[in-house]
Amino acid sequence: MNVRYASVGRVLTISSYRTPRACIVAKWIRSRGLSTQPPVQQEAVPLRKHLKEEAKKKKAQNKSNGKVKASEEISKWELTVGIEIHAELNTACKLFSSAPASVEDGEGAANSRVALFDAALPGTQPQFQKATLIPALRAAIALQCEVQRKSGWDRKHYFHWDQPNGYQITQYYDPFAKNGTLNLTAEDGVPASDLNGAESLSIGIKQVQMEQDTAKTTSHPPSSYHIDLNRAGHPLIEIITLPHIHSPQTATAVVRKIQAILKSVDACVTGMELGGLRADVNVSIRERGTNGLSSYSGVSGLGQRTEIKNLSSFKAVEDAIIAERNRQISVLEAGGVIEGETRGWTLGATETTRLRGKEGEVDYRYMPDADLPPLSIGQELVDHLRTTLPELPNETVERVQAQYGLSVKDAKTIVSLDDGDRLEFMEETVETLKQMLPGQNHDKLGKMVGNWVLHELGGLVSEESRWDEMTVTPQELADLLRNLQHKQITARAAKQLLATLHDSPASTERPSVEQLIDDGNLRLRPLSEEEYKALAKEIMDENPEMVAAVRDKGQKGKAMYFVGQMVRRGEEGTVEPEKAKQIVEKLLSS
């Protein structure tokens, strides 16, 4: 055996023709998959960087898994969804007491709007408030439901601190409205696969029922909860769809359309954005070509459903359905069984979470409410509400298209924005402009105003601001567009003026549009034709390659480069883009 000491690093090297016998301890360690080598020192990674890299890996993995499911697994499964929407009715009082239900001025002090019955004081009884029925009927009529002449009240029993009575009064068995229909089109967000070549898709509404809201619970960690009874007893309607929905996108479109209808007939206090509307979704899947064992309200062959509770945004509805669909597919592909249960969803999550087993009629011990007589609704009231029903969203879109010449997309957008405030602004501007320009084509004026309200003025509105805070008035926009139509200002100057008006606070001392035009020296002073040609030739001489691209290669779109340069170089109020385009095209074709 030779022994040699290395001089660098003091490393001992041993060489021999005979392999040394292994230590019995080393054998034991290796037999258990452990290493006898010293640990390799790795470079320390900051915690923040480590978490960021892990998040990226997880996101990439989830995205990859989602693509695999979409391409390989989802196509063999059929998704079925039913939705239950809870909407707060726009009423002055609560459902069974005269306590105020209005939240226009905020919630106010906790437990300040509570009647004796709302607090479940022993001996108190519910007194149905007839006024709460009006917005509920408007909603049912707008959803094309059959209003029942006679309906009843049921007690749904469950014990929780947000339900003082120990039961909720609802209309489970005999609702006041049944058999409605919701019609959706591609413009509502329904994918082509669901339309299957048809122009529209009909979703059945099983029933609409009135019921009480619960109290509000506020958590105060670590272990305290405060109960505010202001919301207890607030009147709700629950809208239950049939399981006619087969994609997450269509489910979102259903909730969005129902919210728009409720707002249009003034039935709902606020939308999903402010907590006035919540959705529960029932999700089931079955393999295509097979029939499941479950059924619901005449729809048979469904898979076992799970319910996801309290979804409070359109994105949450779509994302939760996608996550639950993928979970159920994974369970069934692995040979498992879907359990009927209630699940929860958190924004940003990738999976739904189990909350509890699914309750049924037996668990809630439904029974008729002995303190309330049946609800009778006269046909004259229903007929009156039907004839005086406000314009529905589809009708408004059709009218805006026909009256103002807007496209379907622009009409739907302007109708849906800002609770109708933007549409009112546009219509007032058009009427004002019609009086200023009596000889102009009305469709042309409507389309022009619509474009400015949607795109130019809409582009100045930030996400945080509301349309009712708009400082530009319909009169000012009409004055601005009148000057543009009369060629007193250029489109560029009009946009500058609009931005100036928007950024200026509204006041009685605010300068008029005419003053702003004159003070800014923005009034159009068009060049002569020779001056236009001289400016265009100067720019062309500086850019011979662009001229060659248009003349020799036929790239006519590049002609607009010269128009843009003429507008930029010309003094403000001297170059009209339309005239500049004519001159440029004439020079390039010669």
Q: What is the pLDDT of residues 234-245, one digit of tens each?
A: 999 999 999 999
Q: How many helical (H) and strand (E) elements, i.e. helices and strands, does the chain have?
A: 19, 20
Same domain, 260 and 407: no
- Residue 66 domain flag: no
Among 475, 500, 519, residue at a domain's last position? 519
Give the least confident one: 30-34, 123-127, 181-185, 345-349.
Answer: 30-34
Characterize 327-343 residue by residue with b for buried, 16 or more Cβ atoms within 10 angstroms of its Cβ, and e for exposed: bbbeebeeeeebeebbb
pLDDT, residue 96, reads: 97
Distances (CA, A) of 424 to 271, 396, 414, 473: 19, 12, 10, 11
Q: What is the mean pLDDT of the chain?
A: 85
Residue 318 pLDDT: 96
| Neighbouring residues of 228: CB distance < 8 A, sequence distance ≥ 6 | 107, 110, 111, 215, 216, 217, 218
Please answer whether residues 88 and 127 qualify as being in contact, where contact means their C-beta atoms are separated by less than 8 angstroms: no
Residue closest to 299 by CA, chosen among 240, 360, 243: 243
Is residue 57 in a domain?
no
Last residue of a domain, one of 468, 490, 519: 519
User: Which of the residue ranges 26-35, 52-61, 340-349, 360-369 has the most confident prediction, judged by mean pLDDT?
Assistant: 340-349
Cis before 222 (ω within 30): yes
Tell me: do 357 and 500 sit in the same domain. Answer: no
Q: For 87-102, what is the mean pLDDT?
A: 93
Q: What is the pLDDT of residues 279-326, one digit of tens each?
A: 999 999 999 888 888 888 889 889 999 999 999 999 999 999 999 999
> Cα(503)–Cα(507) distance, rounded to whole angstroms?
12
Split into its structural domains, the chain has a count of 4
Residue 47 in domain: no
Indicate whether 501 and 551 sit together in one domain.
no
pLDDT score for 9: 40
Lowest mean pLDDT, pick from 167-181, 216-230, 367-381, 568-582:
568-582
Phi then psi for residue 279, to 5 deg, are -130, 140
Residues 454 and 571 in one domain: no
Vertex 335: Cα angle to 334 and 341 (nearest 5): 95
How far from 57 is each of 45, 117, 322, CA to CA, in Å? 16, 55, 21
What pLDDT does residue 10 have?
40
Residue with tokens 């699914």: 358
Structural domain harbouring 14 = 2-31
Q: Note whether residue 367 is domain-resident.
A: yes
pLDDT band at 433; cut points 50, 70, 90 = very high
Same domain assignment for residues 497 and 451? yes
* Residues 425 and 277 reside in one and the same domain: no
Mean pLDDT to the nearest integer, 411-430? 89
Per the DSSP assignment, residues forming a β-bridge with 154 are: 170, 368
Statement: residue 231 has pLDDT above 70: yes
Residue 64 inside a domain? The answer is: no
State how far the Cα of 246 lies from the Cα of 191, in Å rounded to an integer. 10
Of 260, 238, 268, 255, residue with least CA distance to 316:
255
Rounded average pLDDT over 533-543: 88
In b/e form, how buried is each residue of 209-234, taking b as 16+ CB within 10 angstroms?
bbbbbbbbeeeeeeeeeeebbbbbbb
Please, which pLDDT band fits residue 132 given cuts at 50, 70 and 90? very high
**Does position 19 have pLDDT exceeding 70, yes or no?**
no
Based on C-alpha coordinates, what's the Rg of the chain? 34
Each residue's pLDDT tens digit, 34-92: 555 554 444 555 666 666 676 666 666 655 544 445 556 678 899 999 999 999 999 99
Q: How many CA atoms lie within 13 A of 277 on its CB side?
A: 25
Instruction: Compute CA distances 261 → 80, 417, 458, whole Å.
Output: 24, 13, 24
Average pLDDT over residues 162-175: 94
Higher-scoring residue by pLDDT: 560, 507: 560
Higher pLDDT, 493 or 42: 493
Q: Are residues 215 and 104 in the same domain?
A: yes
- In this structure, are 293 and 328 located in the same domain? yes
User: Is there a domain that residue 49 lies in?
Assistant: no
Based on the fold, state whether residues 448 and 315 are members of the same structural domain.
no
Q: For residue 50, is it within any domain?
A: no
Structure tokens, 198: 């048809």
Of 472, 492, 519, which residue constitutes the final position of a domain?
A: 519
The SS3 of residue 493 is helix
158 touches 364 (CB < 8 A): yes
- Per-residue DSSP letters for 219-259? EETTTEEEEETTSTT-EEEEEEE-S-B-SHHHHHHHHHHHH
Residue 335: phi, psi to the nearest 5? 85, 10
pLDDT value at residue 120: 93
Confidence of residue 172 (pLDDT cuts 50, 70, 90): very high
**Separation CA 181–CA 185 (nearest Å):** 13
Mean pLDDT of 129-141: 97
Axis crossing angle, helix 544-551 with helix 577-589, rounded to the nearest 10:
70
Q: Are residues 149 and 76 in the same domain?
A: yes
Copy the structure tokens of residue 569: 């170089």
The SS3 assignment for 346 reads coil
Rounded Cα distance between 229 and 103, Å, is 13
Whole-angstrom Cα distance, residue 131 to residue 129?
A: 6
Residues in the chain: 590
The structure's pTM equals 0.74
User: Is residue 211 a contact partner of residue 170, using CB atoms and an 8 Å limit?
Assistant: yes
Indicate the SS3 state at residue 301.
strand
Is the residue at 59 inside a domain? no
Is the domain of 292 the same as that of 426? no
Q: Sheet of 235-241: strands edge to edge?
A: 146-147, 177-185, 200-212, 235-241, 77-88, 277-287, 306-311, 341-344, 353-357
Of 116-120, 199-203, 438-442, 468-472, the one with minimum mean pLDDT is: 438-442
Cα separation, 401 vs 573, in Å, equals: 34
Which pLDDT belongs to residue 245?
A: 97
Whole-number pLDDT of residue 292: 82
DSSP summary character for residue 197: T
Instruction: For residues 275 and 172, state if they share a domain.
Output: yes
d(CA 553, CA 304): 64
